[in-house]
Structure 1
């Protein structure tokens, strides 16, 4: 059996963004983040953010979070949970995630304002350097 190259997911596509908006989400949205860190952060896409010495992907992600948190909080968002991951109990054996995070935003509009803030995005290079792969799943509470 030929080994297939595994596709990675680091950014939303135009199609996935459009689909998110067509869902008509009213009220708060919680983003489930699954994160797989690089062993060594790759700052080739953002050399201006690179530290003086090599750091781990996890350390680069911590830099991203430190940069991003003031913008997240100013937009009304909050990190509800951040924890270390590992292999699934139920799920594909080959998938292992280093960390999982739940981020709540008051609305989809607030999330988009946060995600498109130019000052906030100035630190996105830390995220790109940090991650080998990721998943982002918008969650909404069911209507009563």
Structure 2
């Protein structure tokens, strides 16, 4: 079961990056990641990171997480949730995601520091090799409404 769209989204566009920064988000961010893995990881763009024998996209993503966590934590972030996906309960029946991940960052500057970190970027090829498609939605926290409160 795959998505009916033919477009794959693996990296932000320049326009999306500019729009993200211009949103002027303040305070902590939570990044919703939806990930679909390749059956076999494709290390053709990063042969220096390739394992000695083929591995699954899921296994390549595990390598990405192992590589990434120290840099994420160093820049004020952490993984809040990592879970297996599947088909939607509410959503397109033809679309599925293998993994959902929530990543918290202290703020936009911390996220940008992480995304530009030389050590992190040295291992990003594991992510590229792993993914067939992805979505990344930056979210800012908002207060919960208080029951019984009037405006």
Q: TM-score, normalised by structure 1?
A: 0.95
What is the number of equivalent residue pairs in this alignment?
141
Supply the distance in 1 between the matched residues of 2:112 and 2:143 (Cα, whole angstroms): 22
RMSD: 1.2
Dislocated runs of 4+, deviation >3 Å: none
Tell which structure's C-alpha radius of gyration is larger: 2
Matched with 2:6 is: 6
Matched with 2:149 is: none
SS at match of 2:97: strand
Supply the distance in 2 between the matched residues of 1:13 and 1:82 (Cα, whole angstroms): 25
Supply the distance in 2 between the matched residues of 1:75 and 1:123 (Cα, whole angstroms): 16
Q: What stretches of structure 2 of length at least 5 have no aligned partner?
A: 145-151
Supply the distance in 1 between the matched residues of 2:5 and 2:115 (Cα, whole angstroms): 30
Matched with 2:52 is: 52
Q: What stretches of structure 1 of length at least 5 have no aligned partner?
A: none
Matched with 2:16 is: 16
SS at match of 2:63: helix
Tell me: CA distance 1:18–1:103, structure 2 relative to 1, closer, same or farther (3 Å): same
SS at match of 2:127: helix
Q: Does 1:27 align with 2:27?
A: yes
The CA deviation at 1:142 is 2.2
Supply the distance in 1 between the matched residues of 2:76 and 2:18 (Cα, whole angstroms): 23
Q: TM-score, normalised by structure 2?
A: 0.91
Supply the distance in 2 between the matched residues of 1:103 and 1:130 (Cα, whole angstroms): 18
